[in-house]
Amino acid sequence: MPTATRLETISGGVTRPQGFRAAGVSAGIKVKGLDLALLVSDGPATAAAVFTTNRAQAAPVLVSIDHLARSGGVARAVVVNSGCANACTGEAGLAVAKGMAAETARALGCPAEQVLVASTGVIGVELELSKIERALPQAMGALGADQGSQAAQAIMTTDPFPKEAAVRFNTGGTADATIGGMAKGSGMIEPMMATMLGFITTDALVPQPLLQRALRAAVNDTFNAITVDGECSTNDCVMLLANGASGVTVDSSSYDAFLEALRAVCLKLALGIVRGGEGATKLITVTVTGSASAVEARRAAKAIANSLLVKTAIHGGDPNWGRLIAVAGRAGVEFELSRAAVSIGSIALFAGGRPHDENTPAVAAYLQGTDIDVSVDLGAGTATSTVWTCDLSAEYVKINAEYRT
C-alpha cells in the first residue's frame, strides 16, 4: 500500500480540517477558567472511537458507546466538560450525560444519538446539568473555525498546557486532506483502550469500518504506548470524526497513507500528554529490543516505563542501570541475562553479561537533559516496542495529594 505522497505538519488543531467549528467557554464547573468545549461538524460525519477498558466506566463513556451504536457511526458534534468526571454517579449521572447530548442536539437540530459526550475531572462528584444548559447557547454563539485553541483549553484539568496537532497529506490525487486533533491528560495516565481524552477530525471521507480500523491501529502505537503513572481512568476515550469536506476519499488503496497521517497527529498529542505529565521534567522514550514477541516487548517496555524506581532514578540523574535490568527480569517475559544489554542515550551501561561503569559519568551528564532515551535488549528474540513516559518528581506527589482539596 502507498504511503502519503506528502505529509506536512501544519499549525492548528481540531478546526484545521474543513467543515469543523469549535468553542470553549466557562460554564462554572471549575472554580475558574474554560470548562465546556463544543466540537461541531457542519454536516454529518462518520465517527469512530475507542474507550477505556476500565470496568468502572463513566456515564459519558456509556452514553457515547450507545449513541455510536444507535447512529450507525454518525456524529454531528462532541460536547465535553472538564472539572467533573461524572463517573460513579449512578442513574443521575447517566441522565446528565444524556441531557448534555440532548441539549446540544436541540441547538444543532440533529438527533441526540449524533452527539457524543465526554467528561474529565474528579470522580464521584455529581455534574450539574443546569450549568451546561446555561452555557451551551454561549458555546453555540462562539463556534468558529478559529476557536480550536479555546476548545483545547476548555478540556484541560491539571494539564500545564493545551495539546493540539494537525497535518496536511496527499495520497496522490489532486486535492489534499487534513487531520487535526486536541487532547488532554496529565495524570492518571496509562490508556488501555486515562484521565485522557482525545478528539480528532479529518475532512477526508472515510468509510466507518476503515475509520475504526485506522483509529485502533493509530491508538495502539501512540496513546496506548504512553504512561505517566500506570493508572487507567474511568473516562478515557479517543474520538475521530470524518466529514469528507475536502473531497478526498480514503479507500483500501489509500488506507496506509491515511493511517500514516493519523498516526502522526496521534503521536504528537500523545507525547504532549507525557511531556505535560503531572510534575514531569523529562520525556523518557523506552525502547525494548530482543524480545520473543511484540506482545512481550510491549509488556516489558510498559513495566520499565511504570517502574517508580526507574522514574525516580532518571529524575535524579542517577545512571542506575541495575533498576532497568531488574524490571526487565521480573516483567514476566522471556529474558536472557547473558545476552541482555542496557543503554541510556547511545551509551552502553550493561552488555555481554557485564557492567560498563566506566561510562557512568557520561550517562550522568546525559541525564541532565529533558529528552531521555532508554534502551533495553532482552536477549531473547527480535521483536521490539517503544513506550513513552516521564520522570516522577515530588511535584507529582504534591499535585495528587491535594487534588480534591
Strand, helix or coil at 111? coil
Q: Is the pLDDT of residue 101 over 60?
A: yes
Residue 238: pLDDT band with limits 50, 70, 90: very high
Considering the chain, what percentage of its residues have pLDDT values greater than 70?
A: 94
Q: What pLDDT shows up at residue 396?
A: 78
Task: Report d(CA 6, CA 160) in Å as an integer.
Answer: 32
Considering the chain, what percentage of its residues have pLDDT values greater than 90?
A: 82
Tell me the three cell numbers of residue 104: 446540544
Angle between helix 90-108 and helix 129-142 axes, rounded to 10 deg = 20
For 162-189, write each residue's pLDDT tens digit: 999 999 999 888 899 999 999 998 654 4
Residues catalogued as catalytic: 195
Alpha-carbon dihedral of residues 143, 86, 165, 15, nearest 10 degrees?
A: -20
Q: What pLDDT shows up at residue 142?
A: 98
For 120-155, write each residue's pLDDT tens digit: 988 899 999 999 999 999 999 999 999 999 999 999
Q: Which segment of 188-197, 296-305, 332-341 scores lowest on mean pLDDT?
A: 188-197
Residue written as cell 529533558? 370
For 239-250, write each residue's pLDDT tens digit: 999 999 999 999
Contact 364, 319 (CB under 8 A): yes
Strand, helix or coil at 218? helix
Task: Report d(CA 356, CA 90) in Å as an integer.
Answer: 57
- CA Rg value for the chain: 22
Q: How is residue 34 annotated by DSSP?
A: -
Question: How big, in percent rounded to 5, are the helix, strand and coil portions of the chain?
Answer: 35, 25, 35
pTM for the structure as a whole: 0.89
Task: Report d(CA 175, CA 344) in Å as an integer.
Answer: 44
Q: Is the pLDDT of residue 193 over 50?
A: no
Q: What is the mean pLDDT of residues 206-213?
A: 98
What backbone torsions phi and psi does residue 260 show, to the nearest 5 degrees?
Answer: -60, -45
Q: E strand or H helix at 237, and its extent? A: strand 237-242
Q: What is the mean pLDDT of residues 106-124?
A: 95
Q: What is the mean pLDDT of residues 78-90?
A: 95
Residue 1: pLDDT band with limits 50, 70, 90: very low
CA distances from 357 to 310, 351, 354, 377, 397 (A): 18, 11, 9, 18, 32
Q: What pLDDT shows up at residue 187?
A: 53
Tell me the three cell numbers of residue 34: 474554560
Average pLDDT along the chain: 92
Q: Is the pLDDT of residue 81 over 80?
A: yes
Domains by residue range for the chain, with CATH? 6-275 (3.60.70.12), 283-401 (3.10.20.340)
For 333-378, write each residue's pLDDT tens digit: 999 999 999 999 999 999 988 999 999 999 999 999 999 999 999 9
Strand, helix or coil at 105? helix
pLDDT top residue among 27 and 278? 27
CA torsion through residues 28, 31, 32, 38, sign: negative
